[in-house]
Amino acid sequence: MKASHIYCGLMMLWLLPSCTEPFSPKIDDAQHLVVVDGRLTNGPGPYVVKLALSANLTITNYDPISFAEVYIREEGGDRHLLEEVVAGEYHSDSASFRGEAGKSYRLEITLSNGKEYQSPYEFLRKGTKIDTVSVKPEIYYFDELQREIPGYQFYVSSEAADQGNDYFIWIMEGTYKYTADYPIYFVWRGFLADFPEPYAYYTCWRTYPVEEFVTANTTNLSEARVLDKPLFFLRGDDKKLSFRYSLLTRQLAVSKDAYEFWDGVRQQSASSTSLYNVQPYLLQGNMNNIEDSKEPVLGYFLVAGEEEQRIFVNKPTSFPVTYAQCGLDYDGYRWIFGEPSSSWPIYITIGDEGRAISGAGCLDCQQIGGKLSPPDWWIE
Amino acid sequence: MRPDKRFFSATLLAFLISLPAALTAQEEDWQIDPSYSGLQFEAFAAKAEQAFGIQIFYRESELRQIPAASVSMPMPLLEYLPLWLAPAGMKVSFDARGYLFVVKGNPIQTTLPQSIYPQIVATTTSAAITGEDNYLTTSDEHIPKIITVGNKRDGLGKRSLVLTGIVVDAETGDPIPRATINVIELGRGVLTEENGRFRITLPKGTLTAVVRDYNHEEVRFTLEMLSSGEAQLRMIERQVRLDDVVISSQRDNPVQNTQMGFERINTRAVKEVPLVLGERDILKVATLLPGVQSVGEGSGGYNVRGAPADQNLFYLQHVPVYNTSHLFGFFSAFNSEALSGFSLYKSNIPAEFGGRLAAIFDIEAREGDKETVQVEGGISPITGRLLVGTPIQKGKSSALIGLRSTYSNWILGLIPNNNFSQSNVYFGDATVNLTFDLNDKNILKLFGYYSRDAIKFGPSTNFNNQNLGSSLSWRHFFNDQHDMEVSLVHSRLSLGVENNAVISEAYRQTSALFHSEAKVAVTLRPSTGHRIRVGANSILYQNDRGDFLPLNESSLVKPVNLNQEQGLESGLFLEDEYRISERITVQGGLRYNLYTFLGPQEVFSYEDGVAKREDSIVDTLSFGKNQPIVTYQGLDYRFSAKYALGINWSIKGSFTRLHQYIFLLSNTIALAPTDKWKLTDYNIKPMRGDQYSVGLYGNLGQGQYQLSIETYRKQVQRLVEYRDGADLLVNEVPEWDVLQGDLDAYGVELMLRKTRGRLNGWLNYTYSRAIVQVDGGQQDLQINFGLSYPANYDRPHAANLALSYRFNRRVSLSSNVVYASGKPITYPTSIFYLNNVRLVSFTNRNEYRVPDYFRMDISVNIEGNLKQKKLAHGSWAFSIYNLTGRDNVYNVYYSAASGRLQGYKVSIFAIPIFSATYNFKLGNYES
């Protein structure tokens, strides 16, 4: 009997997470629906609209829709073209167009196959200021991993919102300083050369979108403000907390419909440990096919008043930050000379047993998305 | 009246042979050998009983001094016994049934053997005929055949006497309902009630009563009626059916009665069902019956014949119990020890019950013994139980108090997870049952019930749920045929939840449902084969939908008071069962329901044909206190007929129409502890259910097996469903989220039951479907795009095997095997991204199913020794739940916690769960 099973047996007594194991039911391929992910705020642009087709569960590729005509139209005003910058990603011109609170906007899309989609006019409300973003060390149990992991739990408190601004969405962006695991001593570019500054690619700063968002609704509260709302849990088991971490929190003031959609998809996608789940269903956003109102369209054109706040946290002292250090491949070193030029440059370090290579990001910190210099706003 | 000579000769004299008159071939087979040497009489008798299949009766006290047996050579038992016992003055006699009697003093003569069959004298104030004081009773019990009721002094000057009493199973003491008692000399008789009790007027003198019940051996008693009094008539469970016994019409026999979709389970049956975590659970037995499914492991509620759980009504001794489980469904909220059994009606529900479409669970509380003090208890890994019964006034009244409580928080501490170590679980329940036999015509009962769950789950959530109920019932007998029962009932369900996961949103929510009911039911039996039940009841529902309040000072939660609502549901009912001919019996029932939703209340009226929303309100209507807001009338009717195909087979058909005026606000996949009840109101209309049913019933193997095949079709109109994504936690205007649709359920249920013998149990298979459709024409009046979808409880194939085998009186083994199709589930079908967050999208509701459910349980019950004289008796129950350790899937979800999107299945009892329970009681095995 597996140890985890015994654990399941004990847990079942007081239910909830009970016993959880990976499981892959056979699910038929679904129809690919148009997904619109667009956001317009009163913050500086460019505003981005991403168009894609939904993917099957098992294939997690991203299937962008290119060559669409995308406009944001101001009610009673101009329309602004969004240009496709990368495949399926359409950007507004930040110099010529900025959202203004108090106005209404809609998104208009014409696909290359001629299908036209449109949102209703959405009102851009004034943002509500963030009061504080705070952090506390906590320990969470992960059902899927069947173990506890310490980390930082971030919380947000808002200032009181104006009348009628009861619906909030928070989106977040993290930046962290980290290092590679080993300095670089040699480099192979068809010939082996010394690497003059072994620590040149050692320290990086990486900015990434936090793959979570948080919703709140203050209609049940006496005051439209949120206190210590949990934002997200930053696990202490990777490099994000190895030196210093910064979290940028954007607080969006949105409409009731937008809240209901975002909150709905969040709940449906939450790693649900409750035995009392609400029946899931197809949630449709505010984009509609003009010709065929029955075509389900996923996603949302979110128009929101935005306020933001950035905080920094240092490496925690109350719990250890643990992550796997890269292994060194001494044997692999002997094979680098035959590698094709497409995999150059290959960096080489020196370990206890001599020269060695290692995995992506282990020697050159840039390989996992970081930059060698801190962002302008970074404070050490 | 003179004693019936034929009776004596038939039952006693001819069978009693004084030894060593003659040994027949059979008795000569009872050869003992030197292996019997050295045994004390008790062990000797046990060995002989086992070896020869006989029963030996003796007084332990008389044989204690007898020296150990000494058998030097093989010889017949009946030759050895006198040799051995005669020096001590003991005599041995036996009868043709293999009963041996060892008595001191005079040998058994051809006169009535009073020393063996002690004449039992019951006075007007004493009840039980416990003539077996000195005999260790056996499964084939030795039953006193002469019962003297009352005494001469009390009977002076009286001609007409009243005999009240109870018919019980000699072994288990369980009351036997619907047994017939015929008094031969008078040519008339009575039928016992559900609780085994009867009442009959008799003349003074000696009478012969023949007691019959389908599952028990026919038994004859000689009644010496001296004055009015009480008697307990004991029957032996039928082991071998005699060919010449005629099956008389008995309501409990599925072949003979008109009831369809009916099951009766008594506590004894429960004894033989494997336990979960050491808890014997009477209601869990229901899930082994065809057509009854548990909502889910670890979830409260039952789905009966493709219906949601809120279409069942649980009455515990007239008290409606709205929350039937502890700990969110792990245990039922009833202490099985304090119950005597339950009846489940899932087809033609009797007209006296109204208000639920699917099923009535009519649970009976156990009564205390009116003669002796009883103490029983048990301890399992989870709970401790104690049951105390005592006479209040000997022979007239009794009290029975049952308590159960968990003490199991220690288990939580073992779990290496913060969520658990910060949890705290308490649950408990109590029943109090008082019975007063005021006189021969009146019985008064007072019953109270309390159950509570206080669960602190993790650091931030507290649940506090309570049931409290009481009933007062008065039963009056007009005469032998007619009686009346009046009951007053009050019950309260209160739910509370506290959550402080987010400081500013920390809340406390409470709600309560009050149910006050008065009921009168009169039973008339104008002639044999004709039974009329007529009456009325009225229920006042006071539903405090609750308060939503800030939990503490730092919470910003705005206090919300969801309104109080009131409804009055009244019914007039009449049911008539009549045997038209030997073959045909018909039953019809009418129930007129009148439901009024009462003020004070503000209600909205809406535009027709569009979704009820804030923007479709056309008017707001205000109603004052107790002012009728809306009235719904409904006529429930049912009709059933039985056509007998000979003695052992019958076919039946029934149709039932019912209405329901209260439902559970729930849109979670399983029932949640926070689900609240809601009354039908101005905008939400009552549900209506029709059920057609046809069945074939048979007795096979001389009645040893019962076979039934029932089919049904059920259609519910205005089933309450919820708009996608509805938030029901703080729902000020429920009609905005309610959509009413249709439920179509159908199925066929096959049941084979073995009712007697060492091995008994049942096997059943059910094919059933439950399909829901909500299509109000336009998109916001639809669920699942207006297409029909399988209900959450649609499980087409289900099979259950429940078996129990008695090795002997001390050891029995039982096992269940449960199979069911997996529950429907809505899987995500595609992935999309929003702000770089990977999300899943769903399409058709309940398009998939989780893997099939399979479980096997086993349990062994070991009784302590069978000594007659002991202070207390103990027994052990060992059980293994989910013997094969199959990880039955409760739910499936997707998570990206490990980096990529992965499905996970949640199982609740994924390993074999072993438990041991120790039970004890005062007295011996039999008491």
DSSP string, B284-344: HHHTTSTTEEEEETTEEEEEESS--GGGEEEEETTEE-S--EEGGGTEESS-GGGEEEEEE
| pLDDT average, residue stretch A323-345 | 86
Which letter, b or e, does each residue of B470-480 get, where b requires 16 or more Cβ atoms within 10 Å of its Cβ? Answer: bbbbbbebeeb
| Nearest residue, CB atoms, B298 vs list A227, A275, A279 | A275
B897: confidence class by pLDDT, cuts 50, 70, 90: low
CATH of the domain at A287: 2.60.40
What pLDDT shows up at residue B735? 93
A46: confidence class by pLDDT, cuts 50, 70, 90: very high
CA atoms within 13 A of residue B779's CA, in its CB half-sphere: 7
How far apart, in whole angstroms, are the C-alpha atoms of residue A200 and residue A203?
8
| pLDDT average, residue stretch B602-610 | 91
Q: Is A299 on the interface with B (CB under 8 A)?
A: yes
B886 to chain A: closest CA residue: A5
Record: contact A19-B887, CB cut-off 8 A? yes
At residue B110, does pLDDT exceed 50? no
Record: contact B906-A19, CB cut-off 8 A? yes
Q: How many domains does chain A have?
A: 1
| Nearest residue, CB atoms, B670 vs list A33, A275, A281 | A275
Q: Could you count the other beta carbons within 10 Å of the beta carbon of residue A220?
A: 17
pLDDT by residue (tens digit) across B25-77?
Answer: 456 667 888 888 888 888 888 888 777 777 777 777 777 777 778 777 777 88
More confident residue, B178 or A111: A111
At residue B815, does pLDDT exceed 50? yes
A270 to chain B: closest CA residue: B895
Q: Among A266-275, B148-157, B274-283, which is the least confidently predicted range?
A: A266-275
At residue A345, does pLDDT exceed 70? yes
Could you give phi then psi for residue A331, rounded to 5 degrees?
-65, -40
| pLDDT average, residue stretch B887-907 | 76
Record: contact B556-A275, CB cut-off 8 A? no
Closest CA to B814 of B859, B756, B877: B859
Instruction: Provide the pairing of β-strand B160-169 with B229-235.
Output: parallel
Residue B501 with chain A: CB contacts under 8 Å: 230
Percent of chain B with pLDDT over 70: 86
DSSP class of B59: B
Residue B829 with chain A: CB contacts under 8 Å: 27-28, 30, 56-57
Tell me the shortest Cα–Cα distance from B674 to chain A, in angstroms.
10
At residue A122, does pLDDT exceed 60? yes
Q: Among A299-308, B110-119, B274-283, B640-649, which is the least confidently predicted range?
A: B110-119
Record: contact A23-B890, CB cut-off 8 A? no
| Nearest residue, CB atoms, B905 vs list A21, A282, A283 | A21
DSSP B429-493: EEEEEEEEEEETTEEEEEEEEEEEEEEEETTTEEEEEEEEEEEEEEEEESSSS-EEEEEEEEEEE
Record: contact A57-B507, CB cut-off 8 A? no
Residue A306 with chain B: CB contacts under 8 Å: none
At residue B567, does pLDDT exceed 90? yes
User: Which residue's entry shows tokens 């062990």?
Assistant: B43
| Nearest residue, CB atoms, A299 vs list B831, B834, B887 | B834
Most confident of A60-64, B48-52, B299-303, B706-710: B706-710
| pLDDT average, residue stretch A202-226 | 90
Q: Is A227 on the interface with B (CB under 8 A)?
A: yes
What pLDDT shows up at residue B70? 79
DSSP A272-332: ---S-PBPP-----S-EESS-TTS--EEEEEEEEEEEEEEEEEPPSSS----PPPPPBHHH
What pLDDT shows up at residue B337? 85
What pLDDT shows up at residue A12? 42
Q: Would you say B657 and B645 are in contact if contact means Cβ atoms under 8 Å apart? A: no
Record: contact B408-A13, CB cut-off 8 A? yes
Q: What token pair was written down for A257?
A: 């419909």
What pLDDT shows up at residue B41? 84
Class of domain B5-104: alpha beta
How far apart, in whole angstroms, are the C-alpha atoms of residue B694 and residue B748?
9
B912 to chain A: closest CA residue: A9
| Average pLDDT value for chain B | 82
Record: contact B908-A15, CB cut-off 8 A? yes
B902 to chain A: closest CA residue: A22
| pLDDT average, residue stretch B247-266 | 66
Helix (H) or strand (E) holding A6: helix A3-11
Residues 341-360 of A with CB under 8 A from B: none
Record: contact A228-B908, CB cut-off 8 A? no
What pLDDT shows up at residue B411? 62
Cα B267 vs. chain centroid, distance in angstroms?
7
Q: Among B52-56, B187-191, B898-902, which is the least confidently predicted range?
A: B898-902
Residue B897 with chain A: CB contacts under 8 Å: 142-145, 271
Closest CA to B739 of B715, B779, B774: B774
What pLDDT shows up at residue B895? 72
More confident residue, B3 or B326: B326
Q: Which domain holds residue A299?
A: 30-126+279-305
Record: contact A277-B893, CB cut-off 8 A? yes
Residue B880 with chain A: CB contacts under 8 Å: none
CA distances from B720 to B209, B583, B660, B663, B741 (A): 54, 42, 11, 8, 7
Record: contact B831-A55, CB cut-off 8 A? yes
Percent of chain B with pLDDT over 90: 35
Residue A139 with chain B: CB contacts under 8 Å: 418
What pLDDT shows up at residue B115? 36
The CATH number fitting domain B120-235, selected from 3.30.70.260, 1.10.10.10, 2.60.40.1120, 1.20.1260.10: 2.60.40.1120
Residue B721 with chain A: CB contacts under 8 Å: none
Record: contact B841-A54, CB cut-off 8 A? yes
Instruction: Please give the span between the terminal C-alpha atoms of chain A, in angstroms, as a whole number.
Output: 50
Question: Is A50 part of a structural domain of the chain?
Answer: yes
Mutate to test the interface with B, among A7, A8, A21, A23 (most CBs of B within 10 A): A23
| Nearest residue, CB atoms, A14 vs list B425, B885, B887 | B425
Q: Is A244 on the interface with B (CB under 8 A)?
A: no
Tell me the shortest Cα–Cα distance from B721 to chain A, in angstroms.
11
What pLDDT shows up at residue B274? 63
| pLDDT average, residue stretch B360-379 | 90
Tell me the shortest Cα–Cα distance from B832 to chain A, in angstroms.
5
Tell me the shortest Cα–Cα distance from B417 to chain A, in angstroms.
7
Tell me the shortest Cα–Cα distance from B900 to chain A, in angstroms.
9
Q: Is A48 on the interface with B (CB under 8 A)?
A: no
CA atoms within 13 A of residue A220's CA, in its CB half-sphere: 23
Show me where the domains of chain B are located. 5-104, 120-235, 359-922
| pLDDT average, residue stretch A181-199 | 92
| Nearest residue, CB atoms, A300 vs list B503, B834, B840 | B834
Q: What token pair was written down for B784?
A: 């699942």
How far apart, in whole angstroms, are the C-alpha atoms of residue B862 and residue B196?
28
Q: Quote the CATH superfamily of domain B359-922.
A: TonB-dependent receptor, beta-barrel domain (2.40.170.20)
What pLDDT shows up at residue B776? 86
Residue B836 with chain A: CB contacts under 8 Å: 209, 211
Helix (H) or strand (E) holding B712: strand B705-722
Residues in Cβ contact with B554 at an 8 Å cutoff, skipping those fewer than 6 apart: A227, B503, B504, B506
Helix (H) or strand (E) holding B268: helix B267-271
Question: Is A48 part of a structural domain of the chain?
Answer: yes
Q: What token pair was written down for B674?
A: 């926070």
B5: confidence class by pLDDT, cuts 50, 70, 90: very low
| pLDDT average, residue stretch B724-741 | 87
Mutate to test the interface with B, among A48, A58, A171, A276 (most CBs of B within 10 A): A276
Residue B901 with chain A: CB contacts under 8 Å: 57, 60
More confident residue, B787 or B271: B787
Record: contact B910-A9, CB cut-off 8 A? yes
User: Which residue's entry shows tokens 């609750």?
Assistant: B546
What pLDDT shows up at residue B502? 80
Record: contact A145-B415, CB cut-off 8 A? no
SS3 B786: helix
Q: Is A18 on the interface with B (CB under 8 A)?
A: yes
Closest CA to B546 of B527, B526, B560: B560
Give chain A's radius of gyration (CA, Å). 24
What pLDDT shows up at residue B628? 95
The amino acid at A377: W
| Nearest residue, CB atoms, B832 vs list A12, A271, A298 | A298
pLDDT by residue (tens digit) across B849-862?
Answer: 999 999 999 989 89
At residue B720, does pLDDT exceed 60? yes
What pLDDT shows up at residue B927? 64
Question: Is A110 part of a structural domain of the chain?
Answer: yes
Tell me the shortest Cα–Cα distance from A268 to chain B, in angstroms.
7
Record: contact A281-B725, CB cut-off 8 A? yes
| pLDDT average, residue stretch A186-198 | 91
